[in-house]
Amino acid sequence: MLFVQAFIHKLEAGGGMRLIRAGLVGLTLLAIPLLYNWRAFRNLASQEAMDEAQLARNIARGKGYSTLFIRPFSIYLLKKRAQEKQMPGEDAGRLKGMHPDLANPPLYPLALAALMKVVPFDYTIPVRPSGFWGNNNRFWRYKPDFFIAVFNQLLFFTVIALVFLLARRLFDAAVAWVSAVLLLGTELFWRFTVSGLSTMLLLLIFTGLVWCLVLLEREAREPERRQVSLLGLAVLVGILVGLGGLTRYAFGWLIIPVLIFLVLFSGPQRILVALVALVAFAAVMAPWLARNYNLSGAPFGTAGFSVLETTFLFPENRLQRSLEPDLNRYQHLTIFWVKLVVNARQILQNDVPRLGGSWVSAFFLVGLLVGFRNPALRRLRIFLLLSLVVLGVVQALGRTQLSEESPDLNSENLLVLLAPFVLVYGVSLFFLLLDQIELQVLELRYLVTGLFGVVACLPLIFTFLPPATEPVVYPPYFPPVIQTVGSWLKEEELTMSDVPWAMAWYGQRQ
């Protein structure tokens, strides 16, 4: 009995409760991904995810930045560039051997390639039942897809930790904890983790960018170190925007709100700080853009022409499927204006009100009327609003058929990057409103906060309820059949398919 009393006293007075809380947090972080992967995991379902995965495998196998997913438009650009360089040949389209990739920026495929080097990826689907086959010897999960999902979930946890620390720095512990819980409970982010897209890596880069801007603004407002630290942060800001641009080209447009933020809030050396960030950004992006231009005559490869897709000149996927497109027809700015207006209307009606897949974003929009005493909060909010405008315009102009086929889970969904910080500001407004309510019992405050969190996390909670999600994305993808068809061809042979990205990833054939 004395031992039990001493143990309880040690827990209460000796920091044991902190260990218990840490243990509960750790168990939660372990239980949620296990439960989600058991109930809601799906194999890769998007063209982009399979494309980047097969590209990463080629890199890991020492085949260079080459692709098995060959777009006719890529052949056209290579041939056109060869003619411009007066180097025409019978294989100007690079169909003999490995075809250079012109569609994807390099950072995410390189990250996946490193993962494939470390983790023993097995790309062969066994004929006999294994742990990745379900009941009745039925195919269930493709191992490489599952490993990629776990990798993205680790990136997601890192984002949650950084957002928690930032919210605690800018607000208080209560806002930080509730924001972290709501971020962990956002069902849309979990779907992104298993989608295989580069969104989680891009979200991590954007979170690091926001951290650097907060530190830079604080150093400019309340100098504690020498000027070199301010310039060092500016270099880091430029590098992060450049790395984001090498993860998804459209992210590079964030250099505009970044430069505006630096000019407004980086102190007397604002012009120098902004120029340093711009030079660092250009230094990161330039080598890759030069590589693309040397190969195709277009600094962004085939991705740079996305502004033409889904217009009346090139509806649906017609441009990417064209061997001889007439690009001289897009000289009129009218087509860009029409595309911007049509897609911006849809973004304002659908994407902005449910930013990040949660209704908590409504608190952020209402909170725009709230004046914060902390200048860092006001200035960061200005940056988020500038980013919202820039990313909204870029998303509208860059929208392609990919967004039509999958409205939420696609690489063109840029506004989702703002969701964690919109969530933090929304939670801060919730607590501000809660403080206005005179609750006689402290436990009622916890109850109201708990209900707020449960309601916000309901979409994720419902995914754990029956029926379970079917992991196989069929139709149209059934990996065993695709791999079987791929085995009918030799490695150097070329096939034509209506799902070439799946043939490249699962079938491992060009």
Find the DSSP H helices in 297-408.
334-346, 361-367, 375-397, 401-405
Q: Is the pLDDT of residue 9 over 80?
A: no
Per-residue pLDDT, 131: 46
Of 101-115, 165-179, 322-336, where does mean pLDDT reach its minimum?
A: 322-336
Q: Highest mean pLDDT range out of 11-20, 47-56, 461-470?
A: 47-56
Better-predicted residue by pLDDT, 411 or 135: 411
pLDDT in tens, 175-208: 999 999 999 999 999 999 999 999 999 999 999 9
Q: Residue 485 contacts by C-beta under 8 Å, 6 or more apart in sequence?
A: 503, 507
Residue with tokens 């620390």, as numbered in its chain? 165
Grade residue 280 by pLDDT with cuts at 50, 70 and 90. Answer: very high
Rounded mean pLDDT, 296-302 = 95
User: What phi, psi does 275 have (nearest 5°)?
Assistant: -65, -40
Question: What amino acid is encoded at 296 in this protein?
Answer: S
Q: Is the pLDDT of residue 384 over 70?
A: yes
Q: Is the pLDDT of residue 47 over 90?
A: yes
Q: 147 to each of 134, 137, 196, 489, how far by Cα in Å?
A: 18, 22, 10, 27
DSSP secondary structure string for all residues of 70-125? --HHHHHHHHHHHHHTT---TTTT--SSPEEP-SS-SHHHHHHHHHHHHTT-----
Q: Is the pLDDT of residue 10 over 90?
A: no
Rounded mean pLDDT, 433-452 = 85
Return contacts of 485-494, CB within 8 angstroms, 24+ apart. 492/97, 494/70, 494/95
How many other C-beta atoms are found inside a 10 Å radius of the C-beta of residue 148?
A: 27
Per-residue pLDDT, 3: 56
pLDDT in tens, 422-438: 999 999 999 998 888 87
Q: What percent of the chain has pLDDT over 70?
A: 93
Q: Residue 487 contacts by C-beta under 8 Å, 6 or more apart in sequence?
A: 507
Cα separation, 15 vs 211, in Å, equals: 30
Q: Which two tokens stand for residue 116?
A: 């494939």
User: What phi, psi does 307 have (nearest 5°)?
Assistant: -65, -20
- 3-class secondary-structure state, position 181: helix
| Triad 91, 96, 102: Cα angle to 5° | 80
Residue-averaged pLDDT of the chain: 89
Cα separation, 179 vs 200, in Å, equals: 18
Per-residue pLDDT, 472: 92
What is the value of pTM for the model shown? 0.93
